Amino acid sequence: MRTAILSAIAALLAGCATTDDATRATAERVLDYAQQTVTPTLQESRYIAAEQAGAPLLKFGIEDLEVVTIGVFDTRRDGIETWLTASGPSFAIEDGFLRNTRGLGDDLMSSDVSQIRAAVLGRENGTVERFMTFIGPEEQTVTRSYVCDIEVRGARDLTVNTLVVNTTLVAETCTSTDQNFENLYWLRESNGKMVQSRQWASNKIGPVVMRDGPNR
């Protein structure tokens, strides 16, 4: 089992080498989670079972922390997918847009990205709003709003799982009173679906990079 996971991670990472901004800072280090496994928790069991069953995979990277990990598809409900990682955290995604994270220490607890989703998938330049909820000091729920400019940056060729994919790059530049960040989305030319993205999750976590893996 351990070897299988390790070789899976190694194989996936081999397909990671591109020159995109989004992935440049990642892939420095892979944590050998498998070697630390003693008795798996239920979540680990689910991860292992899904991975063995050939469930779709997504690659997740956290740039600021230089961590790369593999997520397996777990659940889809009301159009929102939850992806589990072997190391414990999970990511909820709707049409490729990050809806929440769990287990990162400073999680994105929830979000409303409906305006962003419409503009990015519609490939429309313009200004829209996004809302994100975090846990702040004194364990208080803090919801913040951001004003975001959407800009279609044009065609980009991307190597994904050893195949060259024609994509359109759309950028989202967001500001609030004291925060600003830039999100990037690569949309597949053929079907308009997101194949890769870089999305800001929270203050301490920074951007999360996601890229389609095999079976996806």
C-beta separation of 108 from 100 below 8 A: yes
Single out the residue of 9, 22, 23, 33 in contact with other proteins (rule: CB under 8 A).
Answer: 33
C-beta separation of 51 from 8 below 8 A: yes
Beta pairing class for 97-102 and 206-212: unpaired
CA–CA separation, 38 and 19 (whole Å) = 37
Q: Does 92 bind other proteins (CB under 8 A)?
A: yes
Q: How many Cα atoms sit within 13 Å of 53 on the Cβ side? A: 11
User: Which residues 103-162 are close enough to bind other proteins by CB under 8 A?
Assistant: 103-107, 109-112, 131, 133-141, 143
Q: Residue 37 or 176: which CB sits closer to other proteins?
A: 37
To other proteins, the closest distance from the beta carbon of 42 in angstroms equals 4
* Dihedral in degrees, nearest 10, Cα atoms 161, 163, 168, 171: 30
> Quick one: which segment of 6-14, 53-61, 83-91, 173-181 binds other proteins (CB under 8 A)?
83-91
Single out the residue of 9, 12, 22, 67 in contact with other proteins (rule: CB under 8 A).
Answer: 67
C-beta separation of 31 from 60 below 8 A: no
Q: Does 206 bind other proteins (CB under 8 A)?
A: no
For the chain, give the number of residues. Answer: 216
To other proteins, the closest distance from the beta carbon of 118 in angstroms equals 16
Single out the residue of 74, 95, 129, 151 in contact with other proteins (rule: CB under 8 A).
Answer: 74
Q: Does 179 bind other proteins (CB under 8 A)?
A: no
